[in-house]
Amino acid sequence: MGKIRRIQLKSKKYVPLPGTSPGSVQLYEGSLKPKITAYSYGSSACHSEELKSFSELDQHFKNHPTLTHWIDIRGIGDLTLYDYLEKKFKVHKLVLEDIANIQQRPKIDEYDDYLFAVSRMLYVDSELEIENEQISFLLFPKVLFSFQENYIDTVDPVIHRLKLGKGNIRTGGTSFMLYSLMDIIVDNYFTLIYRLGDELETIEELLYRKPDKTLMYQTQSIKRAMIMIRRAVWPERDKINDMIRSDSKLIHKQTKTFLKDTYDHCMQVIDLVESYKDLTTSLIDMNLSFISNRMNEIMKVLTIISSIFIPLTFIAGVYGMNFAYQDPETGKILEHNMPELYSENGYLYTMGVMCLIAVIQMIYFWRKGWLSNR
Amino acid sequence: MGKIRRIQLKSKKYVPLPGTSPGSVQLYEGSLKPKITAYSYGSSACHSEELKSFSELDQHFKNHPTLTHWIDIRGIGDLTLYDYLEKKFKVHKLVLEDIANIQQRPKIDEYDDYLFAVSRMLYVDSELEIENEQISFLLFPKVLFSFQENYIDTVDPVIHRLKLGKGNIRTGGTSFMLYSLMDIIVDNYFTLIYRLGDELETIEELLYRKPDKTLMYQTQSIKRAMIMIRRAVWPERDKINDMIRSDSKLIHKQTKTFLKDTYDHCMQVIDLVESYKDLTTSLIDMNLSFISNRMNEIMKVLTIISSIFIPLTFIAGVYGMNFAYQDPETGKILEHNMPELYSENGYLYTMGVMCLIAVIQMIYFWRKGWLSNR
Amino acid sequence: MGKIRRIQLKSKKYVPLPGTSPGSVQLYEGSLKPKITAYSYGSSACHSEELKSFSELDQHFKNHPTLTHWIDIRGIGDLTLYDYLEKKFKVHKLVLEDIANIQQRPKIDEYDDYLFAVSRMLYVDSELEIENEQISFLLFPKVLFSFQENYIDTVDPVIHRLKLGKGNIRTGGTSFMLYSLMDIIVDNYFTLIYRLGDELETIEELLYRKPDKTLMYQTQSIKRAMIMIRRAVWPERDKINDMIRSDSKLIHKQTKTFLKDTYDHCMQVIDLVESYKDLTTSLIDMNLSFISNRMNEIMKVLTIISSIFIPLTFIAGVYGMNFAYQDPETGKILEHNMPELYSENGYLYTMGVMCLIAVIQMIYFWRKGWLSNR
Amino acid sequence: MGKIRRIQLKSKKYVPLPGTSPGSVQLYEGSLKPKITAYSYGSSACHSEELKSFSELDQHFKNHPTLTHWIDIRGIGDLTLYDYLEKKFKVHKLVLEDIANIQQRPKIDEYDDYLFAVSRMLYVDSELEIENEQISFLLFPKVLFSFQENYIDTVDPVIHRLKLGKGNIRTGGTSFMLYSLMDIIVDNYFTLIYRLGDELETIEELLYRKPDKTLMYQTQSIKRAMIMIRRAVWPERDKINDMIRSDSKLIHKQTKTFLKDTYDHCMQVIDLVESYKDLTTSLIDMNLSFISNRMNEIMKVLTIISSIFIPLTFIAGVYGMNFAYQDPETGKILEHNMPELYSENGYLYTMGVMCLIAVIQMIYFWRKGWLSNR
Amino acid sequence: MGKIRRIQLKSKKYVPLPGTSPGSVQLYEGSLKPKITAYSYGSSACHSEELKSFSELDQHFKNHPTLTHWIDIRGIGDLTLYDYLEKKFKVHKLVLEDIANIQQRPKIDEYDDYLFAVSRMLYVDSELEIENEQISFLLFPKVLFSFQENYIDTVDPVIHRLKLGKGNIRTGGTSFMLYSLMDIIVDNYFTLIYRLGDELETIEELLYRKPDKTLMYQTQSIKRAMIMIRRAVWPERDKINDMIRSDSKLIHKQTKTFLKDTYDHCMQVIDLVESYKDLTTSLIDMNLSFISNRMNEIMKVLTIISSIFIPLTFIAGVYGMNFAYQDPETGKILEHNMPELYSENGYLYTMGVMCLIAVIQMIYFWRKGWLSNR
């Protein structure tokens, strides 16, 4: 079980400049050059082709006129991409801006000829940071575009299924492909949540054994991750609901049955997130009560030791006083000045009284329950 | 009452693999082989038969063509089950996946020929863990399938009533049987909640007598159980509401009157859960205030003892100083060097002053109310 | 003002057995034998009669064929009651079960020939426990049945008004009688809330004067009572709203105007309950801050006394050291060994320094504000 | 800024007796005799007349048959008022009860011939208590009655405007007059909130300078006042919304435009109240953290002084031990018994070691940051 | 990173006088004289002109009869402004009052000939105070008025775009200009939030390194700023939604597509605000737990040092007692009086025992984990 590494949230990258004309595309710092892969498929065929530029796309569509196309674009840092979409596909400027502005919430926007959809991909990267990336989709009757921020391979199982021809994937049209991609994104939420959930359970166990300041930080950062996931899933759910209720011809009736399934998955994700968020709150409460308990423990040790020895030290101090037995000048015996010091066994009696005091106090503390380790 | 055992929540078992084709059945680890019992009944007849395989079902239906059938399947770890349902009953792939994926929320899905329903069974098992199991139903006009995760006998009272022929159970058709099963599941929530509620009351009593760290853990785990029950009951309520408002011919009007009763039970469960959840919050607050109070108590003991004896020890220390009475070389009397030590009754006066200080402090503390045990 | 007794919530009595057939009546432990009083009234007449058994009811109805009847039944622990209702009035089994199951939430169920309503009566009994009892109603065109759990006399003012013939009560039909009973039940909520509110104000005053652990318990139990009242009033409000919007002919239009008034009362109760619940939360917060303040006070006493006397005791300790003035063997004067002890007025100087240290510390603490009692 | 006086909430006065017949008027204790002023106005005329009894009203109406009347009644403690309204204006009994029962929530009730409205007036009286009074209105086509609890002059600016003839007030009919009165009541909420807000800001400043237990009480009572205002404004907003959407002919269309303005004011009040409520919560949190910080400060002083002097006192104690240099009987030199005491400069070395220990500890505490005042 | 300056909220300036006639304009204290700039533009032309008084406006409109006009008014402290609008544009009195009363919530009011809209501009001014200013708009078919409180240049990028003729700005009519202004205001929210967010992250880092009381204040004031932003954005969102759903001909269909984009931006702002508000709550919680942890640390130092030295001091005190070896009068040897003092190596043994006690205690504390710095 051992060490727990702190999972961090990666922070935002895209700061829009106020005052730019609405609909003007603005590439974020560090955006990647697009890698374009075109998949063209029908019930009996499936071609994939890596393209070097968008100008090759027209030729590609001409080559496979009867097939359905999925253009998988990874990296959105190239203005020719937006030019191409605007000119060839008459995509609205605001849509292009939203593809480039990577802080969209999940949503579905219906236009006359196409649908524009946004999802958020959440995953833990190799440096243990939780990435929150945007993937957006343009759904045309025969063509689906997907735009990923990075080169990561979250949706590769769909490509695998497409090549194998499993399920309805080749015959469902572009809307089924869109569904398949959204579905795998939601499935990945489970992976992330279970991972965080496992960490939480480890933290809980460690907490019972030995509370620790760093465990507090861990819990707080997992709580924040849960809040971030919730912020992604609620609008995702609304988006899928909008798609199910949509009148658009672009979404086939058969696909809607499958979307209901994804909707249920979203609800399960929300349930899990809420459960784990409650758990983090419990853990933080528990941690605070542990801190208070430890304080009590420390105070008890101090109080027991001080309470026993301070009175004894006082008694020792009394018999350390130098009251004289004789007046040094007159030699007169000062009878009441500390006769105990000169009595036989005075020392023994004093030690006995001290022991008695200590024993009485121990009994008092034992009855208070302070000697047991609670 | 004595010892309280910690009731634990059993944790999840089914982790879906992202990327599997939607609608593909995936058995969870540790799933059990199905035990199949077929009940066929009418107003005057009731046959029950244990079947060894799904292939025997067809023959069974043929044997009792006029009767209503309830196929009670316990254990869902067999792929032939899903094959059978898909081929003979044309059940949708997504439904089959949901039967196998045991983390569904309660819901009702209407298809053209059948209804698919999911409930959650909650109970405390023999090892004091709270199980949260899925039971799903397929409702056809003449046949009802129920699919339990485990072999537990929660629904056996329904079988008993069926055999006795009590109430409307034999004449109400499959939808009444579905209602009966759902109703007993909701009734079991009461059993669980009252059990947890009794534990809470024991904890509360113990807390008043002697606060304890383990009581805190108990309360937290009961709170979590309450949250878990709430997560099961709210969608259960929505599901029953959906059934009441459904237009489907599969749910008889007469059954809906009974479903309203179950709906009321769900509301009662929700009320109880909220009450107990509030109670756990109160107990945790109370516990924190107890910890603070104890700290005060400890501090008071320390303060009283230190405050009384530290000044006395100082006085004793003063008269333990070795200021000389005579200059050792010149023999000159140093008049102002601690004449008290050589005065008659100096010791008695000093002891008197010490007692006076102690008494004044005791009065001060008594007036502050620190000596009483609050 | 003096002593405050702890108001307690009485706990549940009815635990349903899972698995009993829906609609089967189950008497709770300790249920009372019914006392039946039949009131028959019209604009100019009002007869009341105590009946010994339900069989006498038929005769009673025959005796007064033109009058309106209210059958006031207190105590529901007799199965003949349910038999009678089922046979003579064709009451649905589920309704009978709800009359016997005393944990219903307030609700109104409409059936073809009658309405079934449930209210909750809340009052403080003679042992200072808050009772939460069920009263249910069956509303027929000419007959109203009311079923109380116990023999308490909450609704007696209505009987008084009925006998006096005040207001619309004799001419309003059964629905007005139902309204009158519900109205008096809601009015009783005010009595209970004001009583709890007065206790809260007493607690608040005591808290300002002298915080106390038992005040905390009081506040917590009043908070719980408030939550319990809220749980009763919200569905009560919904029920009355349902009655106002109902199409049933059984509820006269004229009665609905009055029900709106009761609805307003429910809203006032809810406002009061929320106010007092907020107040309890404030008091609990305040109590916690008092505990912390007391801790500060205790710590200040300890710190002031320790800080002043520990350094002084150290100085006294220094001059209590036995460093020799002469080497005992050689008789050589060890000049640097504690010459202060042999200087003239060394004792006085030392005492002066001690006083100075104490005074400086007092000034420091006074400027910190630790000497004032805040 | 100096002293802050504690603003208090005045507590309830009207406790309804359960069991009184619905619609029976019950005067609250301390209710005032009515002062009646009749205002009769048209586009070019405005008469005001103080009346001694309700019987004079009929004559008044006859004197000004074409004018609009506003009857301003302050004090509601006279049963002839209710008799008059019931007989001459056919006002429903429940309305009369609501006028007398001064704990109504803001609401609007529509009857066939008239509207009944309730508002709450909130203001700080001369003894710095926040009054929460009821003002109710009866709106007829040509007559508006207003019923105030007390003789206060909150609505006098409206009278002033009426006499001046400013704005639409003389030509808008009774509904505009009703609007004017409601508007001034809502405007007064601002006055109250800004006053409380100013107090809060003073409290905040004082809190930063010197936290204090009484500041906590202040904050709590302002928080409660805010909650009370919120309880009045939300239903006020709903009431105004109901009036805007009402179909009643009694409310002119032109008036509704103005009511929308009042609606916006209500929303602003709600925003302000929520802001200040959040601020009180922040202040209470801050106060708790101040208390904890002070505790830390106190503990630091104690710990620093104890930690430095306790070890030094121990060393002094060691050299105060009386281990003998010679065996008193045999005169044998006990070489290992405290030779330090007889070494040259033993005292100086010891004092040096003590200083060293103190300095090391000071450095330790300084590096811990305990010596700075944070 | 260094020093963090405290961002403050600027407080309100406009306190309405209760009792003023509704619809009467009241200038707030410190309101500025208007600076009027008229922009007249069409697809191919764009004139801008600074006007000295409102009387020049008529001439301006005549000069450019076919163009669209945007009248940009900064500073609203001149009554001639309101006169002009009332007389020439027949603007409703209540609208004029709302333009002058700078505490409106964002809203859109539809009148027959024009729309009235309010937005809130939020920005950090040169003195690091967050300004919350009102900007209101009057939308006529060919003329748009905008009214700013101050002379700030938030909307200047729109003027820049207008002059350049970029985008749809010159051809979209007045509603597109209104959209452009609203859009830039919402974009400015991002700037403010990211600025506050950066401060929060700095605070968080500092908090982990060295918790500090001033960090707490910072966090609280950022939390309050977040709450203030939320109060502005929610009604802003509702306003934009109202505009999208409005039937008014004044808002072009094409503009609505763009408004949807602004709506999405509002949702993103809300998400960010909620995230940061959660973060502030976490930080405050964390800070409290740090304070408690520090207390534990302080207490541990005190306890360790006291626990070790108090018993040792007691032992030293015992051997500092002056029990006599001989009876001073009789010279009788008192055998049991402290023989240790006269035993060979008594001192060494005592020191050894002391060391042993100290070592045992150190081991105890080390095993408790108190010596490590957690």
DSSP string computed for D240-290: HHHHHH---TTS-HHHHHHHHHHHHHHHHHHHHHHHHHHHHHHHHHHHHHH
Query: If you ran DSSP here, which 8-state letter would residue D333 be given?
Result: B
Candidate from E12, E309, E319 with C-beta closest to D323 = E319
Q: Which residue on chain E is closest to A105 by alpha carbon?
A: E268
Shortest CA distance from B217: residue in chain A: A286
pLDDT score at D327: 80
Residues A204 and A325 grouped into a single domain: no
For residue D235, the chain C residue with the least C-alpha distance is C267
Q: How many whole angstroms separate alpha carbon B48 and alpha carbon B156? A: 13
Q: Do the strands E143-148 and E35-41 form a parallel or antiparallel pair, or are they unpaired?
A: unpaired
Query: Is the pLDDT assigned to residue C31 strictly greater than 80?
Result: yes
Residue among B167, B170, B177, B110 nearest B146 (CA) = B177
Q: Identify which of E23, E11, E10, E55 has the alpha carbon closest to the alpha carbon of residue E36.
A: E55
- Is D118 exposed, middle or buried (CB count within 10 Å of its CB: 0-12, 13-18, 19+)? buried
Cβ of E293 within 8 Å of Cβ of A291? The answer is yes
Question: Is the domain of D104 the same as that of D235?
Answer: yes
Q: What is the pLDDT of residues D34-73, one digit of tens each?
A: 999 999 999 888 889 999 988 889 889 999 889 999 999 9
Please report whether residue A85 resides in a domain: yes
Q: What is residue B306's predicted lDDT score, i.e. its pLDDT?
A: 92
What is the extent of the structural domain holding D32?
Answer: 8-289
pLDDT-based confidence at E363, cuts 50/70/90?
Answer: very high
* Residue E208 pLDDT grade (very low, low, confident, very high; cuts 50, 70, 90): confident
Q: Decide if C328 and D342 are in contact by the 8 Å CB cutoff.
A: yes
Confidence (pTM): 0.84
Q: If you average pLDDT over every residue of chain E, what do you get?
A: 87
pLDDT score recorded for residue A256: 93
pLDDT band of residue B11 (cuts 50, 70, 90) is: low
Mean pLDDT of chain D: 87
Q: In angstroms, what separates the C-alpha of A317 from chain B's closest C-alpha?
A: 5
Is it the case that residue E79 has pLDDT exceeding 80? Answer: yes
In chain D, the residue whose alpha carbon lies closest to the alpha carbon of C157 is D19
CATH number at D280 reads 3.30.460.20
Let me know whether D276 and D355 are in one domain. no
Residue A311 maps to a domain:
no
E partners (3+ CB pairs within 8 A) are: A, D
CA D246 – CA D240 distance, rounded (Å):
10
Q: Is the pLDDT of residue B3 over 50?
A: no
B190, two tokens: 């009461």
Query: Shortest CA distance to C105 belongs to which of B189, B188, B271, B185?
Result: B271
Number of H helices, E strands in chain D: 8, 8
Angstrom distances, CA of residue C313 to CA of A319, B350, C69, D313, D359: 15, 16, 91, 7, 19
Chains that touch A (3 or more CB pairs under 8 A): B, E
Query: Which one of B156, B307, B320 has the shortest CB-CB distance to C316?
Result: B320
Q: Are residues E253 and E341 in the same domain?
A: no
SS3 content of chain C, % helix, strand, coil (to 5): 55, 15, 30
Q: Are residues C107 and C162 in the same domain?
A: yes
Last residue of a domain, one of A246, A270, A289: A289
Question: Which pLDDT belongs to residue B2?
Answer: 39
Residue of C nearest to B290 (CA): C213
Nearest CA in chain B to C21: B167
Residues C115 and C208 in one domain: yes
From chain C, pick out residues whose CB is under 8 angstroms from the CB of D15. 190, 194
pLDDT at residue D16 above 80? no
Of B289, B305, B332, at which residue does a domain stop?
B289
Chain B touching partners, 3 or more CB pairs below 8 A:
A, C
Tens of pLDDT, residue by residue over A83-116, are 999 999 999 999 999 999 888 899 999 998 999 9
Which chains contact C through at least 3 pairs of Cβ atoms less than 8 Å apart? B, D
Q: How far is C33 from chain D (nearest CA, A)?
A: 26
Whole-number pLDDT of residue B27: 87
Identify the band that residue B266 occupies on the pLDDT scale cut at 50, 70 and 90. very high
Nearest CB among E190, E279, E302 relative to A16 is that of E190
Please tell me which of the candidates D18, D294, D350 has its beta carbon nearest to residue C187. Answer: D18
What average pLDDT does chain A have?
87
Classify residue B97: in a domain, yes or no.
Answer: yes
* Same domain for C342 and C254: no
Interface test with B, best of A154, A158, A261 (most B CBs within 10 A): A261
Quote the pLDDT of residue D1.
Answer: 36
Total count of domains within chain C: 2
Contact A257 B94 (CB under 8 A): yes
Residue A210 lies in a domain: yes
Give the one of A267, A306, A321 whose C-beta lies nearest to B302's C-beta: A306
Closest partner residue to A21 (CB to CB) among E167, E307, E334 is E167
Confidence (pLDDT) at B220? 87
Domain membership of residue C363 (yes or no) is: yes
In a domain, D2, yes or no: no
Q: Which of D261, D282, D328 sits opposite E342 (nearest CB)?
A: D328
Partner-chain contact A322 B319, CB within 8 Å: yes
Give the minimum alpha-carbon distance from B104 to chain C in angstroms, rounded to a whole number.
24
What is the nearest CA distance from D105 to chain C, expressed in angstroms? 7
Q: Which pLDDT score, from 0 to 100, does residue B75 have?
A: 93
Q: In the beta sheet, which residues pair with residue C46? A: C41
- CA distance to partner chain E, nearest, from residue D169 (Å): 9
Q: Which residue of D has its CA nearest to E211?
A: D374
How far apart are the C-alpha atoms of B337 and B334, rounded to whole Å? Answer: 6
Chain E residue numbers with beta carbons less than 8 Å from the beta carbon of A228 are 275
* Chain E residues whose beta carbon lies within 8 Å of the beta carbon of residue A351: 318
pLDDT tens for each residue of E230-276: 999 999 999 999 999 999 999 999 899 999 999 999 999 999 999 88
Whether the CB-CB separation of D283 and C289 falls below 8 Å is answered with: no
Do B269 and B349 belong to one domain? no
Q: What are the Cα distances from residue A194, in Å, to A188, A201, A259?
A: 10, 10, 23
E284 plus E343 within the same structural domain: no
Is pLDDT of E11 > 70? Answer: no
Cβ atoms of C288 and D285 closer than 8 Å: no
Residues of C in Cβ contact (< 8 Å) with D333: 329
- Closest chain C residue to the Cα of D345, Cα to Cα: C336
Looking at chain E, which residue has its C-alpha nearest residue A107?
E264
Q: Two tokens at D324?
A: 């003998």
pLDDT band at B71 (very low <50, low <70, confident <90, very high): very high
D216·C268 Cβ contact <8 A: no
Give me the residue from A22, A301, A351 closest to E183, CB to CB. A22
How far apart are alpha carbons A267 and A261 in whole angstroms? 10
Say yes or no: A69 and A218 in one domain: yes
**C242 to chain B: which residues are within 8 Å by CB?**
none
Predicted local distance difference test score (pLDDT) of residue B292:
83
pLDDT tier at E2, thresholds 50, 70, 90 = very low
Say what the pLDDT of residue B206 is.
85
- Domain assignment present for B188: yes
- Stretch among A127-141, B200-214, C140-154, C159-173 having the lowest mean pLDDT: B200-214
Q: Which of B254, B292, B303, B360 would you mutate first to test chain C, the one with the most C CBs within 10 A?
A: B303
Helix (H, G, I), strand (E, B) or coil at C77: coil
Let me know: does D164 contact D46? Beta carbons within 8 Å.
no
Looking at the fold, whether D282 and D336 belong to one and the same domain comes out as no
Assess whether pLDDT exceeds 50 at residue B24: yes
What's residue B284's pLDDT? Answer: 85
Closest CB to B321 among C23, C284, C316: C316
What's the mean pLDDT in B138-166?
91
Q: Best mutation site among C8, C111, C301 for testing chain B: the one with the most B CBs within 10 Å?
A: C301
**Does residue D248 form part of some domain?**
yes
**What CA–CA distance (Å, rounded) separates A111 from A109?**
7
Best to test chain D binding among E11, E284, E298 (most D CBs inside 10 Å): E298
Q: With contacts defined as CB-CB under 8 Å, which chain A residues touch B24?
A: 167
Q: What's the gap in Å between the CA of A322 and the closest CA on chain B?
A: 5
| B249 plus B356 within the same structural domain | no
The model's pLDDT over C201-245, given as tens digits with 9 standing for 90+, comes to: 888 888 877 777 778 888 888 888 898 899 899 999 999 999 999
Task: Give the pLDDT score at C181.
Answer: 95
Closest alpha carbon within chain D to C318: D316
Domain boundary among A289, A306, A335: A289
Contacts of B158 in chain C (CB under 8 A): 19
> C-alpha distances in angstroms, D207 versus C96, D212, D214, D289, E290?
62, 7, 10, 11, 21
* Chains with ≥3 CB–CB distances under 8 Å to D: C, E
Helix (H, G, I), strand (E, B) or coil at D124: strand
Write the pLDDT tens digit of every residue in D119-158. 999 988 877 788 889 999 999 999 999 999 989 888 999 9
- Nearest CA of chain C to the CA of B302: how many Å? 8
| Distance, CA of A298 to CA of B142 (rounded, Å) | 71
Shortest Cα–Cα distance, A139 to chain B (Å): 20
Distances (CA, A) of C73 to D76, E178, E255: 41, 70, 69
Distance of alpha carbon A174 from alpha carbon A71, whole angstroms: 11
pLDDT for C3 equals 46
Percentage, residues of chain D above pLDDT 70: 94
pLDDT tens across B96-148, in order?
A: 999 998 889 999 999 989 999 999 999 888 777 888 899 999 999 999 999 99
- Whether residues B160 and C19 touch (CB distance < 8 A) is answered with yes
Token pair 């039940």: residue: C185
pLDDT, one tens digit per residue, over D279-304 is: 888 888 888 888 888 888 888 899 99
Distance CA D8, CA D222 (A): 8
Select the more confidently predicted residue: B169 or C139: C139
Do A292 and B287 make contact, defined as CB atoms within 8 angstroms? no
Residues of D in Cβ contact (< 8 Å) with E316: 314, 317-318, 320-321
Residue D18, φ and ψ in degrees, nearest 5: -65, 140
pLDDT confidence band for B372 (50 / 70 / 90): confident
* Residues composing chain C: 374
- For chain A, the first-to-last Cα distance in angstroms comes to 27
Q: Kindly give, in sequence order, each residue whose CB lies less than 8 Å from that of residue A99, ignoring residues fewer than 6 positions away.
A: A25, A76, A82, A136, A147
